[in-house]
A and B are shown apart, each in its own frame.
Chain A
Amino acid sequence: MPPADEPLWNVVEVSKTYPGVLANDRVSIRLMAGRIHGLMGENGCGKSTLIRILSGVHPPDSGEIRRQGKRVNMTTPTEARAQGVATVFQEFSIVRTLTVAENVFLGRWPRTALGLIDWNTMRRRSREVLAELEIAIDPDAITANLSVAQQQLVEIAKAVAADAQLIILDEPTTALGVDEIDLLHTLLRRMRDKGHAILYVSHRLDEVTALVDEVTVLRGGRVVAQAGEIAIEVDAIVNAMIGGSVKDHYPKKCNTHPEVAMSVRSISTVRGIHDVSFTLHKGEVLGLGGVLGSGRTEIARALFGLDTLTDGDVAVAGRSLRLRSPADAIRAGLALVTENRKTDGLFFNFAGRANMSSASLPRLSAFGFLDLKREDAEAAALARELELSHGATDKSVVHLSGGNQQKVVIARWLLSDARVLILDEPTQGIDIGAKLAVYRLINRLTAQGCAIVLISSDHEELLAMSDRVAVVQKGTIVDIRAPQDLTTADLVRAATLRSGRTAA
């Protein structure tokens, strides 16, 4: 046994430069066996770089990495794996068409004497690993048929099967529901107790503070708070991350007018929402609370013409709408920012400008010809107003940070003059600075009379930013209340309640 204060992995003064950016500036971090270490910081602070260095994806320019006191050199992911490092990236590295067992032993399949895959051994050992971790998944299941959460557990099982002593998780909960996050955390605690070192990277502060044993905070490529120097509390971590204190974490302004912007009367769709009714006023923010899969996203789809209404009626500014396609919805002044900006929000083949104008092409063209000058001028003006990074309108959106990408997607609907904006998880996966920018944008839009439907799994955000909150459960709205009358606990309880009514 090494001495108790000897770290399993010790990163000492590591620096890494990418063309034009000092991404890691003499970063040191000590990862202890049997401890969960949180790595925090805003987007672009150097977290990803540090993960890539530890995973052998990019070697550092200077500094050293020690494993149990011995200096190691890792220049490829294979070398890192051989040293017992397993990384679960945001984009999974499992092969969806293979079985769970095949994935657990991906690339290291046990062989028979003839060189064929030894299915029996592979199944048996997979079952052992899954049982050890108390994961209830059939080793013969095809991975593609599992939920995202289960796929993540398979990733972790894979790390354990490879005998990894250090497990790095990069934003592991972005796609998970409340129960699934609990399941993951339980598993991670169990692994910690077995002596694994875990490096946990996440934006969700409440989650991190509940889970980790120590925290390192990065800002601008440097360590601004070492493990042990900082309390594991939301406020302390936020202050370190942004380099100051944010008293007005949620800069909520109430801009509700009495005038009705949209009225929804008992709509139903084949996707499982039924009898949904609510009224939205000008300048109002209506929050939709509930768990993943409760039907919030499906309500958004119905309002935006993506799912056909089987019943009910939607009226904007007093006029009843025929919603057969998003084009109909856009013409009526509706807008939808989906939760997956990467898959169905952004055009990575376009620069920021064309991304902003994609929903305004009819307005920006005459006789089929685009007014490119006007497009350019409007996009540039909007970019300045939204404090988008310099040159964002000319660069492909691939090169923008998550926060700036989100601003571009929202800007699309500012250009289209939307009167009702539906925001589905608008702050997911973006840093605090960008979140504040989104909140300010919400205030600005409501001040102009735009009505907003806000869907968020961040209950604190939902309660702080909404004028009224609708609780969604099993495809329908069961209750609408002022946020003062609700607590985070109420939302969680309503979401997990089995009956059709909330306990009021």
Chain B
Amino acid sequence: MRRYVDAQLLGPFAALILVTLVIALTTERFLDPGNLSNLALQVAIVALIGIGSTVVVFSGGIDLSSGSMVALLTMILATAIKSFGVPLWPALIGALVIGTAIGALNGVLSAYLRIPSFIVTLAGLIAYRGLALMFNAGSPIFSLHPGLEPVFYGTLFGIPLPFFYLVAFYGAATMMMMNTRLGREIYAVGGNPAAAKLSGINVRRVQTIAFAIAGFMTAVGAVLMAARLNSGSPNYGQTLELQAIAAAVVGGASLAGGRGNILSTLVGALTIVIVQNALNLNAAPAAVQNVILGLIILVAVGLDMWRTEIAHTLARLFKGRR
């Protein structure tokens, strides 16, 4: 069990608890059951997409294309259901398959054609939204399917389904990074690709798989997005890729690759959403919320960077006493 608790995560986790406590004490409606389940709904999409973004970061790359990919996938899903009459479940599974394939394409372009992943996915960020606009003359498609909304709004034992998605996917992702050969190979490739190659690891294959995982998780996010609004739109998911990366960073993950805990992303996403929720409850304007989100990112990363310095200073102070 000790393996799953790591020091890197303790600081951000403590910060999350502290922020939650302060908000719970100062904001009246925060602890209402309605508000709490609302939180689970708000955090779900960014936290699930964040799993894929973080896996790519661990492998030494970056994925900027997920937000646009969400728009494209909701449009593909909507067109399949409305224009081609594809039944709901095959359409959803199709969206997951296409998302995985697009992710794999990102991976192939960066790993095999050696175009930096920042550039590949920056191109994807622009091009995938362009592709989304080619469907239905660029207009949203509404009222997709009566069975779609329960995928997001349904409950089990009175708990919203997205809560269970989070538990299942974070559980699986943690298991993958900690206990599987693939997880170890992802860390190895992200830490030192040359050494990984010399250890017999197929570096390009591992990088491609990391992007395919990101594509799959983005598709999961896209399905939930479509279910939440029972529609597809080329405007969905704007800046979602940055929110996903911001969540990882606030949770203490390093963008350098090769190290980190996937749960960082959940902790970071929760921190951001809870603060946003508190601001909403206190009727703060949207502009203020963005400024505060920016500050949270700076403070979280700053504290992490200065952690060693802070520890050294404390150590020196203590030594001075003796």
Contacts and interface: CB of A to CB of B under 8 A. Distances in A.
Interface of A: 19, 304, 306, 325-327, 329-331, 336, 338, 343-350, 354, 358-359, 361-362, 364-365, 368-370, 372, 412
B6 to A, nearest CB: 12
A370 B181 contact: yes
A343 B197 CA distance: 12
A338 B199 CA distance: 11
B192 A325 contact: no
B185 interface: yes
A347 B195 CA distance: 7
12 contacts: A304-B198, A325-B200, A325-B202, A326-B197, A326-B198, A329-B200, A338-B198, A348-B191, A348-B192, A354-B184, A361-B185, A369-B180
A321 to B, nearest CB: 14
Nearest to A362: B181
B133 interface: no
Nearest to A354: B184
Contacts of B202: 325, 327
B109 to A, nearest CB: 21
Contacts of A370: 179-181, 184
A327 B180 CA distance: 19
B196 interface: yes
Given A326-B199, A358-B199, A347 B191 contact: yes
Given A365-B180, A369-B180, A343 B194 contact: yes
Interface residues of B, number: 25
Given A327-B202, A350-B191, A358-B201, 17 more contacts: A325-B200, A326-B199, A327-B201, A330-B199, A336-B198, A346-B192, A347-B188, A349-B190, A349-B258, A350-B258, A358-B196, A362-B181, A364-B181, A368-B182, A369-B180, A372-B3, A412-B199
B4 to A, nearest CB: 12
A369 B259 contact: no
Best-buried of B185, B190, B198 by chain A (most CB within 10 Å)? B198
Given A327-B202, A354-B184, A372 B179 contact: yes
Best-buried of B182, B188, B259 by chain A (most CB within 10 Å)? B188
A344 B200 contact: no
A344 B62 CA distance: 22
A306 B197 CA distance: 9
A427 B24 CA distance: 60
The 8 closest A-B pairs by CB, nearest first: A349-B191, A349-B258, A344-B194, A327-B200, A330-B200, A358-B199, A365-B181, A359-B199
A352 to B, nearest CB: 14
Contacts of B199: 326, 330, 358-359, 361, 412
A344 B187 CA distance: 15
Contact of A369 (B3, B179, B188, B195): B179
Best-buried of A19, A306, A347, A348 by chain B (most CB within 10 Å)? A347
Interface string B253-271: 0000111000000000000
B113 interface: no
B315 interface: yes
Contact of B188 (A330, A331, A343, A358): A358
A366 B196 CA distance: 20
Contacts of A326: 197-200
Contacts of B185: 361
Contact of B180 (A306, A325, A368): A368
Interface in B2-44: 3
A361 B181 contact: yes
